[in-house]
């Protein structure tokens, strides 16, 4: 799990990062 990626999602709420997170889960 990439915590930096998760943090960027929380901070920026970027759909592209959110999609990447869903693939990791």
pLDDT(3) > 80: yes
Residue bearing the bigger pLDDT, 23 or 18: 23
Contact 17, 1 (CB under 8 A): no
Residue predicted with more confidence, 22 or 15? 22
Q: 13 or 21: which carries more pLDDT confidence? A: 21
Check residue 16 and give its pLDDT: 78
Q: pTM for the whole thing?
A: 0.35
Tell me the CB-side half-sphere exposure of residue 14, using CA atoms within 13 A.
11
Task: Report the residue count for the chain.
Answer: 25
Tell me what pLDDT residue 1 has: 65
| pLDDT at residue 13, rounded to an integer | 67
H/E stretch holding 18 reads helix 15-24
Q: Supply angle C-alpha 7, 9, 15, rounded to 5.
A: 170
């Amino acid at each position: 799990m990439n915590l930096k990626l998760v943090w960027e999602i929380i901070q920026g709420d970027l759909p592209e990062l959110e999609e990447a997170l869903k693939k990791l889960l």
